[in-house]
Amino acid sequence: MVKTNLKAVWERVYATKGEAGVSWYQAEPRCSFELIESLAPSSGRIIDVGGGASVLVDRLLDLPFAKVAVLDISETALAKAQSRLGDRAGRVDWITADVTEIQDIGTFDVWHDRAVFHFLTDESDRKLYTELAARSLPPGGFLIIACFAVDGPTRCSDLDVRRYDKASLSAELGDAFEFVTESRETHMTPWNAPQSFFYGVFRRR
């Protein structure tokens, strides 16, 4: 898909659906939060890549992190999160960008992505994503990728996705990252459809 169209797709999703009306909505992003809390240094730098309007950023602001950033291709999604956070939004670095196009986002101790990498169906985009993650994490930094598991959905928001397990995700990330741990989650959509997610945790070598 042409990149300008991709941005338009996501802007339309967020402009036409309420925060809690999207399949990926979580009132409490428990699995993501617990992984970040257990891995990050107490005054660490955290980025939620493709964070959209997720409340994960609200929860991260409750911890004493030095820096919390949210990157998303959709400014409408980020505006929703900003409006919900009110004054607290000023404590977040908001980055409107395509993760496969932006060159420099600074340095982070933890990179978290729930349901973005699985949309990258072009190998060249996955390479650009992985290179940016490798540039943005120092050795010892953590990469958390939550994506549809091999028994998860094949499409989302009318877009094709790729599904992953430990072996396939490790292979995509290559030598710059070593596998640390994994977890599974059955996400229930707001209309009670189960979706199988795989969470892979990797350490920057």
Ligand X SMILES: C[S@@+](CC[C@H](N)C(=O)[O-])C[C@H]1O[C@@H](n2cnc3c(N)ncnc32)[C@H](O)[C@@H]1O
- Contact track, ligand X, 133-172, x by CB under 6 A: -----------------------x----------------
Side-chain half-sphere exposure of 59, counting CA atoms within 13 A: 18
Nearer to ligand X, 40 or 57 (CB): 57
Q: Residue from 31, 46, 73, 132 that binds ligand X (CB under 6 A)?
A: 73
DSSP 103-151: ------SEEEEESSGGG--SHHHHHHHHHHHHHHS-TT-EEEEEEEBTT
Shortest distance, position 103 Cβ to ligand X, whole Å: 13
d(CA 187, CA 185): 6
Task: List the interface residues with ligand X, window 4-33 (CB under 6 A).
Answer: 10, 24
**74 interacts with ligand X by CB under 6 A:** yes
Of residues 85-104, those binding ligand X (CB under 6 A): 98-100
111 is a contact residue toward ligand X (CB under 6 A): no
CB of 166 to ligand X, least distance (A): 20
Axis-axis angle for helices 123-136, 166-173 (nearest 10): 70
Residue 200: its H or E element: strand 194-204
Answer for which of 51, 141, 152, 200 binds ligand X (CB under 6 A) is 51
Residues comprising the chain, all counted:
205
Residues 166-205, one symbol each (x = binds ligand X by CB under 6 A, - = not), give: ----------------------------------------
Residue 48 pairs in a beta bridge with 70, 112
Q: How far is the CB of 91 from ligand X (least distance, A)?
A: 19
Cα 111 to its chain centre, rounded Å, is 8
Q: Which residues, 6 or more positions from 154, have their beta carbon under 8 angstroms from its beta carbon? A: 160, 161, 163
> Total residues contacting ligand X (rule CB under 6 A)?
18
Candidates 34-42, 71-79, 164-172, 188-196; binding stretch for ligand X (CB under 6 A): 71-79
Is residue 180 within 8 Å of 205, Cβ to Cβ? no
Could you list the residues that contact ligand X (CB under 6 A)? 10, 24, 50-52, 54, 72-74, 77, 98-100, 114-116, 119, 156
